[in-house]
Structure 1
Amino acid sequence: MNFEIQKRALSRVIRDDLDALVVLWPSQGGVEGSDKGPISVVVRAAAAHGDFEHKPGAMLTFYAHPGIQARHVVVVCIGEGSAAQVRSAVNAAWGALKSAKIKRLGLHATTEISGKTLQVAACALADASYSYTSTLSKPKPRTLKQVVFSAETVNAELRDALAHTQALVAGIEVAKEWANRPANHATPSLLANAAKAIAKGPAFKCEVMGPKEVTKLGMGAFLAVARGAAEPLRFIVMRYSGAPAAQAPVVLVGKGITFDTGGISIKPAAEMDEMKYDMSGAASVLGVFKALGELKPAINVVGLIPATENMPDGQAVKPGDVVTSMSGQTIEILNTDAEGRLVLCDALTYAERFKPRAVIDIATLTGACVIALGGVRSGLFSSDDALAQALQLAGDASGDACWRMPLDEDYAEGLKSRYADVANVAGRQAGSVTAAKFLQRFASRYPWAHLDIAGTAWRSGAAKGATGRPVGLLLAYLLAQAGPAAAKAASNRRR
């Protein structure tokens, strides 16, 4: 899906070769009072008869109107132009168009908008028009191929925002693709192949390790989870070097459980199919690296993906077993369905070798986080206030919000064990917090944050599917860390 931006008045846009035109109309201002073209005439007439109210979501549609090149025209009110209003308006407009075969769509703003608003509108269109096709015998691919944004005033901010959005959408759709794939089409080996395909070019490196190398590293917790699976584990190490080697990297650690049965502590059968999404953290790392390849910011980033299935065969780890992690700490596995923290803890220890400026792990870790925050915000846990604040700001700026949760030491009490240094679960109460407290034990040597995306990575029900979150949050954070000068340099390189 490609995005363009053009400086155009509405009187010119109506003559452009488009299949459909969506006009974002504000509650006040815009061209309503000055433009004499056919769209403004229709809007004024409809408003005079009470058929178009200047309030968010109000919409007019017309087809093959004289004087307008586009077959389909949708005028939709964006109210005051807030992110939520624009997103809702674009979704409503696409809902009116999705049954038509739209390949080239115009999106025109009749009033001045910000780069953030443009990004929201473009991302909403991409999300609404997304179509999964990989495992369908008769796929119905997305028909929308090109979106041409236009406004009377187009400045550098808007151009940069659209370039950013192009990369962001590409990254989100990589994350969606791999999270949506059934587990037999997204094995650890296939995930590793996807990482290699993304990590191409002079700024990238990708290393893939198997059971032999992981055993040599002493990753006993990761190996324990993989013991019951016929599919061999993969430990994927991706590197993007956009800055001098002396600059410490940001390390992203994505949970890559490509299917989670729960192991011996097996899950209920109902909705277990959704456990193909348990590698959404890994998918988000792939998505971020896809976007980095397009934006080329001046920052160093490492992506670590411990990938395996969690299966219950005769070799599988059992409740009560004690394993030794890469850090040397022993872990009593009281529940084999708390496997994500086991693969992550070894990856967090491995991250130390990069001497990172920050480490962020991303995981569909706990159902408790879904209860706490639903599908609106990801759970954020951090041992570093500056890192937590930066991630919260990135979430707010990108519309991919998170919420900081506590890490009081009292929450670690339930993780105590008579038979090991730590247990992997601490009971039902504050389950998302105690899971984070477990991970914190393995992340003491660098600024660390944990994003629990169990509630935000996918939707259930009729709209079941991956959301691509938190690619937006992570990319916004990384670009902010690269700094304004680096962002400007990247923009100049794209031009």
Structure 2
Amino acid sequence: MRVSVQRADCTEFETPLLVVKLFEGEEELVGPIAKIDERLGGQISRLRRRGDFRGKEGEVLPLYPAEGTLPAERLVLVGLGKREELDLERLRRAAGTAVKQAQKLRVQRLSSIMHHAELVEERITPGDAARAVTEGVILGAYSFDELKTKQEDQPPPLEEFIVLEKVEEKARQIEEGVRIGDAIARAQNLARTLGNLPGNVATPTYLADTARRIAGERGMQVTVLGRDAMREEGLHAHLAVSQGSDQEPQFIILEHRGGAKGEKPLVLIGKGLTFDAGGISIKPAERMEEMKFDMCGGAAVLAAMQAIGELGVKANVIGVVPASENLISGAAVKPGDIIGSHLGKSIEVINTDAEGRLLLADALSYVRRFEPAAVLDAATLTGAIVIALGNQATGLMSNDEGLTEELRRIGDRVGERVWPMPMYKEYKEQLKTEYADIKNTGGRAASSITAGWFLREFVGDFPWAHLDIAGTAWGDGKLAYQTKGATGTPVRLFVEWVLSRAS
């Protein structure tokens, strides 16, 4: 999809569909919307007075201008809700709602104005509004149908999104917002596609090939360690997880060198379990097919690195994806086995289905060599976080209060909310074992937090945060800009965090 900004009057611009966003409870129309209403003979005002369109969040109404009134073939009114409640996520969702309506109308070009940003400019700049709307449009237009042999009655793909703005200063702000939103949303759609692909396609090697493609396109350095190189490096916990699979594990490192030489890098780590049957501690058959989503953390890291490279972020950033399968065979690791790790700690494997933390443990130990400024890791780590937070927030565990608050603010801003879990030292006691330095599970009680404590044991002397995305990595598509399947979380949070830290 092409995204552009045009210096044009919305009442004079020819387009198949013009999106007009309206607040709830405000009868008086101002600015460009008032001009549109005047050209329509007061049609929008009449609809609002009669209560046919109130402007509630998510409300949508298509209109067909009479010939000679507007050059736009169609209008779609989209409700924003109350003005005082407007935020970037609401704009993102409104854009997704508009796209869904465009698909119903089978149009391929969509135009919009940013008038709503002017009305709340003290909180939302035109550039930020344009970024959120661009993200909502591109995310909302996403579909995953690569593996279907028949496309029955599918709407034509949306080919172009145009933002209209006459004022030059605002147009420049909007162009920058569109540039950032476009790169992030396309990256997030890559993460969604990687997550939606089945395990027989998106193998560890497939993720490694994706990393190589991104590196080639964005001028990054890529290193991929296979089984032999991993053994030489001492990534023993990762190798133990992969023992039951014929697929070769991959340890993927992408490096974006946009900062000053010697500047400490920011590190992103994502769990890349391309299919997780649970190993010997096998999962129930029901919904096991969803375990193709167990690599969504790794997909988010690859996608975020793509956006970071495309945006030319002035920071040194390293993305690490430990990739593997967790299957059953005569060679698979067993409950009670004691394995090694990159850090040298011995680990008693109580449950082979608590495998993601083993991959992350080796990755967290490995990245110590980079002396990072800070490290974020993301993983579909525990079902317990879904019980605690549902699908509305990602669980956050950290060793640094400042980083915790930073991520909370950023998550709220980009619409990928996080919620910190308590990291009391007493929880660490649940990981003690008589037979090794640490065991990989601490029982059912507070199991998301004890998983976080397990990871913390492998973290070096740097600020670190773990994002448990088990409840947010995939979903039922109820959000206006989402579809059923992988969500791409937390690509937006990753990229915004790096942007906020960049020099």
Q: Deviations over 1:56-103 (max 9, x none)?
A: 444431236313333332122323143354344334333333223221
Pairing of 1:69-84 with structure 2 (within 5 A): 69-79=71-81, 80=83, 81-84=86-89
Distance across 2 between alignment mates of 1:194 and 1:88: 29
Structure 2 counterpart of 1:107, from 106, 112, 124: 112
Report the CA distance shift for 1:40/1:227 in structure 2 as closer, same or farther (over 3 A): farther
Question: Is 1:481 the equivalent of 2:483?
Answer: no
Question: Is 1:43 the equivalent of 2:44?
Answer: yes
* CA drift at 1:202: 6.9
What letter corresponds to residue 65 of structure 1 in structure 2? Answer: A
Distance across 2 between alignment mates of 1:321 and 1:20: 62
Distance across 2 between alignment mates of 1:243 and 1:331: 37
* CA drift at 1:36: 5.6
TM-score by length of 1: 0.92
Contact 1:332–1:419 at 8 Å: present in 2 too? yes
Distance across 1 between alignment mates of 2:324 and 2:41: 57
What letter corresponds to residue 150 of structure 2 in structure 1? Answer: K
Structure 2 counterpart of 1:432, from 448, 452, 459: 448
In structure 2, what is the equivalent of residue 492 of structure 1? none
Distance across 1 between alignment mates of 2:475 and 2:209: 26
Of residues 215-224 and 25-34 in structure 1, the stretch that sits farther from structure 2 once superposed is: 25-34
Contact 1:25–1:109 at 8 Å: present in 2 too? no
Question: Is 1:60 the equivalent of 2:71?
Answer: no
Question: Is 1:419 the equivalent of 2:435?
Answer: yes
In structure 1, what is the equivalent of residue 195 of structure 2? 179
Distance across 1 between alignment mates of 2:357 and 2:328: 18
Question: Is 1:120 the equivalent of 2:132?
Answer: yes
In structure 1, what is the equivalent of residue 2 of structure 2? 2
Structure 2 counterpart of 1:147, from 155, 161, 169: 161
What letter corresponds to residue 121 of structure 1 in structure 2? Answer: V
Distance across 2 between alignment mates of 1:201 and 1:183: 25
Of residues 90-99 and 28-37 in structure 1, the stretch that sits farther from structure 2 once superposed is: 28-37
Q: Deviations over 1:245-278 (max 9, x none)?
A: 2111111111000000000000000000000000
In structure 2, what is the equivalent of residue 270 of structure 1? 286
* CA drift at 1:26: 3.2
Identity %: 38
In structure 2, what is the equivalent of residue 23 of structure 1? 20
**Aligned residue pair count:** 480
Q: Deviations over 1:206-241 (max 9, x none)?
A: 111100000011111101000000111111111110
Contact 2:218–2:310 at 8 Å: present in 1 too? no
In structure 1, what is the equivalent of residue 489 of structure 2? 469
Question: Is 1:337 the equivalent of 2:324?
Answer: no
Pairing of 1:344-493 with structure 2 (within 5 A): 344-460=360-476, 464-483=484-503
Report the CA distance shift for 1:179/1:39 in structure 2 as closer, same or farther (over 3 A): farther
Contact 2:110–2:162 at 8 Å: present in 1 too? yes
Q: Deviations over 1:444-473 (max 9, x none)?
A: 322211111111110148953011110000
Contact 1:170–1:290 at 8 Å: present in 2 too? no
Contact 2:89–2:415 at 8 Å: present in 1 too? no
Report the CA distance shift for 1:111/1:7 in structure 2 as closer, same or farther (over 3 A): farther
Contact 1:381–1:406 at 8 Å: present in 2 too? yes
What letter corresponds to residue 114 of structure 2 in structure 1? Answer: A
In structure 1, what is the equivalent of residue 262 of structure 2? 246
Distance across 1 between alignment mates of 2:41 and 2:5: 22
In structure 1, what is the equivalent of residue 145 of structure 2? 133
Contact 1:368–1:431 at 8 Å: present in 2 too? yes
* CA drift at 1:135: 1.6
Distance across 2 between alignment mates of 1:172 and 1:48: 40
Of residues 179-188 and 445-454 in structure 1, the stretch that sits farther from structure 2 once superposed is: 445-454
Q: Deviations over 1:24-45 (max 9, x none)?
A: 1234453355556434622023
Distance across 1 between alignment mates of 2:260 and 2:222: 18
In structure 1, what is the equivalent of residue 122 of structure 2? none
Distance across 1 between alignment mates of 2:254 and 2:208: 10
Contact 1:111–1:151 at 8 Å: present in 2 too? no
| Secondary structure at 2:451 match in 1 | helix
In structure 1, what is the equivalent of residue 228 of structure 2? 212
Distance across 1 between alignment mates of 2:383 and 2:75: 43
Contact 2:94–2:136 at 8 Å: present in 1 too? no
TM-score by length of 2: 0.91
Contact 1:458–1:464 at 8 Å: present in 2 too? yes
| Secondary structure at 2:12 match in 1 | helix
In structure 2, what is the equivalent of residue 493 of structure 1? none
Report the CA distance shift for 1:475/1:40 in structure 2 as closer, same or farther (over 3 A): farther
Distance across 2 between alignment mates of 1:452 and 1:302: 20
* CA drift at 1:133: 2.3
Distance across 1 between alignment mates of 2:155 and 2:146: 10
| Secondary structure at 1:212 match in 2 | helix
Distance across 2 between alignment mates of 1:464 and 1:21: 27
What letter corresponds to residue 436 of structure 1 in structure 2? Answer: G
Contact 2:117–2:129 at 8 Å: present in 1 too? no
What letter corresponds to residue 51 of structure 2 in structure 1? Answer: G
What letter corresponds to residue 62 of structure 2 in structure 1? Answer: T
Q: Deviations over 1:431-452 (max 9, x none)?
A: 1100000000000322211111
Q: Deviations over 1:142-172 (max 9, x none)?
A: 6102111124542443222111101111110
* CA drift at 1:410: 0.4
Of residues 193-202 and 311-320 in structure 1, the stretch that sits farther from structure 2 once superposed is: 193-202
Question: Is 1:234 the equivalent of 2:254?
Answer: no
What letter corresponds to residue 12 of structure 1 in structure 2? Answer: E
Distance across 1 between alignment mates of 2:58 and 2:165: 20
Distance across 1 between alignment mates of 2:281 and 2:401: 36
Distance across 1 between alignment mates of 2:428 and 2:416: 29
* CA drift at 1:127: 2.3
Of residues 339-348 and 116-125 in structure 1, the stretch that sits farther from structure 2 once superposed is: 116-125
Query: Where in structure 2 are there 5+ consecutive unaligned residues?
Result: 119-124
Superposition RMSD in Å: 2.0
Contact 1:26–1:110 at 8 Å: present in 2 too? no
Contact 2:184–2:495 at 8 Å: present in 1 too? yes
Question: Is 1:195 the equivalent of 2:211?
Answer: yes
In structure 1, what is the equivalent of residue 121 of structure 2? none
